[in-house]
Structure 1
Amino acid sequence: MADYILNDDKDAKDILIELRESTSMNRHQFCEYFEIPYMTVSDWEHGKKRVPKYFLRLLEYYVRMEQMGQEKKED
């Protein structure tokens, strides 16, 4: 899995998009699953509002844990 931690090469919105795409969910599914208002994620992804760095880190952690749990189930 790619490392999505913020760095100077990527904007937070690009990292959010990559993180969402790594879940294989579209924006609507992602918002429902994480209980985030659709317009909030849409504004973040379009650069209209900034994604809080702490939120991005928490979201990344949660997605990683979910994916690890799924991998264990498959073994």
Structure 2
Amino acid sequence: MDKKENIEKQIHTLKEIRDMLNVNRTEFSRYMGIPLRTLEEWEAGRRKMPDYVLRLIAYYVKTQKWLK
């Protein structure tokens, strides 16, 4: 997988998590402690999210039982 495909996959996964939680960017950024601007830039593909961050978000959401 090349860099562009990896970024697109991250963006898709992050948006998918937010959609499953039924929250907007502002609510998600507050709950996760991520600056809103950073989240916006990740989702727009202007900034690459570190790979470990997405794994931590997914793990945190699952352990908080947001995802069923």
For normalisation by structure 2, the TM-score amounts to 0.80
- Partner SS state of residue 46, structure 2: coil
Instruction: Give the alignment partner of residue 50 of structure 1, picking from 48, 51, 59.
Output: 48
Whether the 8 Å CA contact 1:13–1:50 is kept in 2: the answer is no
1:38 aligned partner, one-letter code = L
* Runs of 4 or more above 3 Å deviation: none
- Partner SS state of residue 56, structure 1: helix
CA RMSD of aligned residues (A): 2.2
Match of 1:65 in 2: 63
Whether the 8 Å CA contact 1:16–1:56 is kept in 2: the answer is yes
Distance 1:13 1:51 in 2: 9
The structure with more radius of gyration: 1
Shift of 1:60: 0.2
The number of aligned residues is: 63
Distance 2:27 2:35 in 1: 11
Match of 2:32 in 1: 34
For normalisation by structure 1, the TM-score amounts to 0.73
Q: Which runs of 5+ in 2 are unaligned?
A: 1-5
Whether the 8 Å CA contact 1:13–1:45 is kept in 2: the answer is yes
